[in-house]
Structure 1
Amino acid sequence: MIKYSNQTRILVAVDCIILGFDGKDYKLLMVQRGFAPEKEKWSLMGGFLQPRESLDEAAVRILKQLTGLENVYLEQMHTFSSPNRDPVERVVGVVYMALIDIEKYERQINDDFHARWFLMKELPQLIFDHEEMVQMALNRLRYKAALHPILFELLPEKFTLPQLQALYEGLFDTKIDKRNFTRKLLSSKILTKKEEKDKSSSKKGAYFYSINEAIYRDNGQAMLNLIPRNEIPAATE
């Protein structure tokens, strides 16, 4: 077998960032690391690329092995290559991310590595450069959510405007003016109003809405106006 001469072999790790929404709060899924260094400390779902698999295949395998989750759409986000990011040896880290509805996937999660959801505002200390990875993922998601209605994927088939506003306020960690939010949202024509109301929170109730699929696909840029411009992070590579 021919090999390149005089070259140092470098390990490639794959880390999965799984952000979830439970209908009220955003959370991060983590596991307890199963080996040294930092054994039993909280970590993203990570493992090493094997000789006969692609990065995409490795991400799917690692996520399933450590959490039980499968059929999750994972998007490759960034490569972390600082020479000293792992104290043992040179490891290049390739990060994948996904945003999921927690309720939809909750039954899949196993306890082999103590997989657990943490509130984004109450995260424990993470190993290595995983905090930097998570922050980049949040910025990437905020940027994309400001331009396209990707957060709608977390909503049930019918939902109220207060539920939708909570979805955006939670991600951007900010309060959004209710009147402006409602006016801009309805003017985008992306929603279809239902006749029925949700009266679980008040006697008056709030009308249910559903997504207008055609406009959802073609008019995503209208979502930019929902978020104050000073809250939109710059695009990241």
Structure 2
Amino acid sequence: MEDEPWKTPYVMLAVDLVILTLRRSRLHILLVERGVEPYRGALALPGGFLRHPEEEIPAAARRELAEETDLDIENVHLEEFRVYGTPGRDPRGRVVSVAFLAIAPRLPEPTAGTDAAAARWQPVDGVLAGDVRLAFDHRRIAADGVERARAKIEYSALATAFCGPTFTITELQEVYEAVWGIQLDPRNFYRKVQKTDGFIIPAGTERKAATGRPARLFRAGPHKILYPPMVRPVMSAALTGEGP
């Protein structure tokens, strides 16, 4: 029996976005309410298909970020972190999705666009716990994106992407606490930050406080890779200030 002639498989290429920010000192993720089938009315990650064969994948991610959320993307950290292509993950056919992690400080309330009926910020802990049902395999993608951020702030300066142009060490500590989901000892955190060369540098100004001494302001330093790294502590060490 002769083999059937090989045919080019029909595969659709899409991008999905895990967009993270801090709101009221808690880590939030952006979700959209789908306005079209499949999963109409369900919450999902922002994203969509490439528009044409010539569109670059990072360009498609930036376009979807702007179209579905109406956010200013100029100051958003955007990076690809994984590809998802399990057969059956999308009822419309064989869809391969390139997932991107996007991070920016103090993002505003989003405005939905294109095929999204609404857009909202949702606390990450509830999404990962399954309290919020997501369409497709988007809870897995969200979990992978959050873990990417949790791991990367250990060895890179990614935590500063959650901050404004200048920030206090207390604000930087709030980033680590929100992303890791644990409390950190302030003195131990201050010591670690000061030991990590090129992580942050003084901005030369101070921020007046309602009470007490003014807080020194810092900005992101020149080093993108941290040495020594800001190792994620276990819960007991984080609360007591012990550990590396």
- Same fold judged by TM-score > 0.5? yes
CA distance in 2, matches of 1:27, 1:224: 22
Aligned to 1:99: 103
Counterpart contact for 1:13–1:48, Cα < 8 Å: yes
Give CA-to-partner distance per residue, 1:54-87, whole Å, 9 cap, x none. Answer: 2122212222221123334421111101112112
Gapped regions of structure 2 (runs ≥ 5) = 238-244
TM-score by length of 1: 0.80
* Aligned positions of 1:1-237 closer than 5 A: 6-22=7-23, 24-49=25-50, 50-69=52-71, 70-71=73-74, 72-103=76-107, 106=108, 109-112=110-113, 113=116, 114-123=118-127, 124-188=132-196, 190-192=200-202, 196=206, 198-200=208-210, 203-205=211-213, 207-211=215-219, 213=221, 216-217=222-223, 220-225=226-231, 227-228=232-233
**Secondary structure of 1:156 counterpart:** coil
The number of aligned residues is 220
Secondary structure, aligned partner of 2:41: coil
Cα contact 1:101–1:154 (8 A) shared by 2 = yes
CA pair 52-191 structure 1, distance change in 2 beyond 3 A: closer
Report what 1:235 is aligned to.
Answer: none
Over the aligned positions, Cα root-mean-square deviation in angstroms equals 2.7
User: What is the aligned partner in structure 1 of residue 242 from structure 2?
Assistant: none
Could you tell me how far apart the structure 2 residues matched to 1:218 and 1:21 are? Answer: 21
The DSSP-based 3-state class of the residue aligned with 1:15 is strand
CA distance in 2: counterparts of 1:51 and 1:197, whole angstroms: 50
In structure 1, list runs of 5 or more residues that go unmatched: 232-237
Supply the AA of the counterpart residue of 1:66: E
